[in-house]
Amino acid sequence: MKVQINPELCQGHGRCYDLAPGLFGADDEGYGQVLGDGTVPPGAGHDAELAAANCPEQAVELLEEG
Amino acid sequence: MAVDERFPQDPRDVAEEAEAGVRNEIITGPVSDWATDFSHLEPEWSADPYPIQDDLRQRCPIAHTERFGGAWLPTRYKDVSAIAYDTERFSSRQIIVSNFRSPRDIAPVGEAPPISSDPPFHHDARKLLLGGFTKKEVAKQEPATRAFCHALVDELAGRDVVDAARDYAQHIPVRVIANMLGFPEEDGPQFRVFVEDVLEGINRQPEERQEAFARLDAYLLAQVHDHLDNPRDDLTSFLIDAELYGSKLPPNVVTGAMALLLIAGIDTTWSAIGSSLWHLAKTPADRERLVAEPGLLPTAMEEFLRVYAPVTMARLVRDDMHWRGVDMKADDWILLSFPAANRDPAQFDRPGEVVIDREVNRHAAFGLGIHRCLGSHLARMELRVALEVWLERVPSFTLDNPAAVTWSSGQIRGPRSLPLRIG
Ligand code: HEM
Ligand code: SF4
């Protein structure tokens, strides 16, 4: 699974980097950023789902690979 | 004395500008039917708006009133979010419902950018401020905030009954924003008067309202001059020096943004802290669980923000239009209730219940879209620290007298008097 942020929708609420700091960070203006290439390591699936489910703008996308 | 020609020395030069715009008749008194005559300024709404909103959501999801010169109240999440996202048809020219409409040509800047601004100006004004309010940046305020919360609790020593709204919650955001703007800490009591004038004095006579705004302008101008004489590392000096489109900011943008930062963070955060403590005082199971499991606080906090969302905003309809079944007129108000959206059963399971371990919580307490609360990271830090310190120092507390709790009136909702029995 991979995570991705839609920059058109993100408004910098920061729920993603609060809930899943291993997967997301913030840029200098507080907008969410995916760390690395967004691959969700084993064990981090729940964090990824929480971030997606709590983003008020529905900007966090989960992509199933394959 | 340092001179900057943008800012007059005498505040009366600012205050006496003639006021253009449109006033309507002020209508007060009991509401006949909430679907056709609502008013968020009547005591019934202040005491408990949620049953009213829940009822409207079922029988008349976009309610109307002739008060305030005409206003609409959507209560479904999908309508509130659609309006927040649609900055073309719904303007932020004014975001507090009143009996006065400012002239249309103050858009897209408005009186307190960026909250009163529309695209395209909004983006540029907001961008100036974003860097100062990131999670990382506001973390710098955390140690001082924590120390201040402890000092406030120290003051309560020896008392059985304390007012958690007045003696604790309200002081926290006042102190934090005074430090960030570089205003004297001892001016705190004045800030609370400004906040009340702007947010609660809606149905006062226009002359009285204007005098109150003039006092706020005069205060801000004095702070500008103080910062021109002694520039320092704070938001006021930052705004005075900031540039947009290659030149320094116009004076009304500097003082408008200062006013916004002063007003926007006080009542709101005070309300969030107070409502959370009110809930915990009357719900021993939740209080005991949070004392035992402090790690749950960030999750619980989001639930308090959802269910007791302190902030309702407003918009002005841009042009006459038929929208989702109703006929809106240009310059009708929209009372944009994030609190009502947060309790929509179409969006949340068990919306009326406070579930402190609710994991999925896509609430809209800090708004949606381009006006997302600029201070949300700061507010979350203050709320978390305020609750952490309180629960650590005062783990056991109950409502002293539920009937003695009073609530603010207007678009920001929270307890203004909250007597708690402690120890
Ligand atoms: C729990 C506390 C708070 C709540 C619930 C809250 C809520 C909100 C909401 C709902 C909006 C959206 C306005 C709209 O859509 O028109 C907003 C905007 C804003 N808030 Fe807050 N707020 C809080 C605390 C703060 C603090 C501490 C500050 C810091 C000074 C602040 C500064 C602002 C500013 C500057 C805006 C305008 C942003 C823009 O228009 O781009 N708020 N707030
Ligand atoms: S939670 Fe959503 S809106 Fe907020 S920073 Fe993350 S992606 Fe952006």
Q: Among the bound ligands, name the one nearest to the CA of residue A4.
A: 2
Distances (CA, A) of A35 to A5, A53, B221: 11, 18, 44
Ligand 2 in contact with A55 (CB < 6 A)?
Answer: yes
Identity of the residue numbered B219: Y
A66 vs A58, which has greater pLDDT? A58
Per-residue model confidence (pLDDT) at position B16: 46
What is the amino acid identity at position B3?
V
pLDDT above 70 covers what percent of chain B? 98
B5 in any annotated domain: no
Is residue B366 exposed (0-12), middle (13-18) or buried (19+ Cβ within 10 Å)?
A: buried
Q: What is the pLDDT of residue A65?
A: 74
CB contact under 8 A, B372 and A12: yes
Closest CA to A52 of B150, B361, B137: B361
In a domain, B93, yes or no: yes
CB contact under 8 A, A56 and B363: yes
User: Which residues, in sequence order, are CB contacts of B12 under 8 Å at separation 6+?
Assistant: none
Q: What is the pLDDT of residues B319-376, one digit of tens each?
A: 999 999 999 999 999 999 999 999 999 999 999 999 999 999 999 999 999 999 999 9
Q: How far is CA B401 from CA B69, B77, B421, in A?
A: 39, 34, 9
> What is the chain B residue with the closest CA to A31?
B134
* Contact assignment for B130 to A30 by CB distance below 8 Å: yes
CATH code of residue B265: 1.10.630.10
**Considering chain B, what is the average pLDDT of its residues?**
94
- Residues B244-262 have a mean pLDDT of 93
Token pair 């003039």: residue = B214
Q: How far is the CA of A6 from the centre of ligand 2 (A)?
A: 9
From B283, B291, B313, B310, select the one nearest B383 (Cα to Cα): B310
Predicted confidence at residue B393, as pLDDT, reads: 98
Which residues in A have their CB inside 8 Å of a CB on B?
11-14, 17-18, 26, 28-30, 50, 53-58
Residue B361 lies in a domain: yes
The residue segments making up the domain with residue B191 are: 11-422
Q: What are the structure tokens assigned to B201, written together? A: 């004095």
The predicted-structure confidence for B370-402, as pLDDT tens digits, reads as follows 999 999 999 999 999 999 999 999 999 999 999
Closest Cα to atom 2 of ligand 2: A55
State the residue for tokens 């991705």. Answer: A4
Contact B360 A30 (CB under 8 A): no
User: What is the arithmetic mean of pLDDT over B306-330?
Assistant: 98
Domains of chain A by start residue, with CATH: 2-63 (3.30.70.20)
Query: Do residue B376 and residue A28 have CB atoms under 8 angstroms apart?
Result: no
B368 to chain A, any CB pair closer than 8 A? The answer is: yes
Which two three-digit tokens encode residue B179? 């430090």
From A39's Cα to the closest Cα of chain B, the distance in A is: 22
Tell me the pTM: 0.95
Judge: A28–B135 Cβ closer than 8 Å, yes or no: no
How large is the average pLDDT for residues B212-229? 94
Q: Where are the beta strands (DSSP E) in B24-147?
A: 62-65, 71-74, 90-91, 100-101
Residue of A9, A15, A31, A47 to mutate when probing chain B, most B C-beta within 10 A? A15
Please choose from B86, B126, B268, B338 the residue to mutate so as to test ligand 1's pocket, defined by most ligand atoms within 8 A of CB.
B268
Asked if residue A16 has its Cβ within 6 Å of ligand 2, the reply is yes
Residue A11: list chain B partners with CB under 8 A: 368-370, 372
- Does residue B1 fall inside a structural domain? no
Asked whether the beta carbons of B385 and B328 are under 8 A apart, the reply is: no
Q: What percent of chain B has pLDDT over 90?
A: 88
Q: Which of residues 211-250 of B touch A (CB under 8 A)?
A: none
Contact in structure between B177 and B265 (CB atoms under 8 Å): yes
Q: Helix (H, G, I), strand (E, B), or coil: what is residue B196?
A: helix
Does residue A19 have its Cβ closer than 6 Å to ligand 2?
A: no
Q: List the single residue in B131, B360, B377 with the smallest CB-CB distance to A54.
A: B360
In a domain, B6, yes or no: no
The tally of domains found in chain B comes to: 1
Distance CA B82, CA B28 (A): 30
Q: What is the CA radius of gyration of chain B?
A: 21
- Is residue B59 over pLDDT 80? yes
Closest-lying ligand to the alpha carbon of B128? 1
Nearest to B130 by CA among B367, B374, B366: B374
- The residue of A11, A28, A33, A50 whose CB has the most chain B CBs within 10 angstroms, and thus the best one to mutate to test that interface, is A11
Q: What is the pLDDT of residues B184-212, one digit of tens each?
A: 999 999 998 898 888 777 888 888 888 88
Q: Provide the pLDDT for residue B147.
A: 98
ipTM (interface pTM):
0.96
Is A40 a pocket residue for ligand 2 (Cβ < 6 Å)? no
pLDDT for res B17: 52
Cα B313 from chain centroid (whole Å): 8
Whether residue A44 is predicted with pLDDT greater than 90 in this model: the reply is yes
Nearest ligand, CA B91:
1
To the nearest 10°, the Cα dihedral for B258, B259, B264, B267? 130
Residue B10 has pLDDT above 90, yes or no: no
Domain membership flag for residue B104: yes
Which tens digit of pLDDT belongs to each residue from A4-27?
Answer: 999 999 999 999 999 999 999 999
Average pLDDT of the residues in B278-302: 98
Report yes or no on B2 lying in a domain. no
pLDDT of B165 > 50? The answer is yes
Please report whether residue B203 resides in a domain.
yes
User: Would the CB atoms of A26 and B134 count as touching at under 8 Å?
Assistant: yes
Q: Which of A12, A30, A53 sits opposite B360 (nearest CB)?
A: A53
Nearest-Cα residue of chain B relative to residue A54: B362
- Average pLDDT (A32-56) is 97
Residue B389 in 3-state DSSP?
helix
Q: Predicted confidence band at B19 (pLDDT cuts at 50, 70, 90)? A: low
The whole-number average pLDDT for the span B24-45 is 96
User: What is the DSSP code string of A13-60?
Assistant: --HHHHH-TTTEEE-TTS-EEESTT-B--TT-HHHHHHHHHH-TT--E
CB distance B303 to B360 below 8 Å = no
Position B3 pLDDT exceeds 70: yes
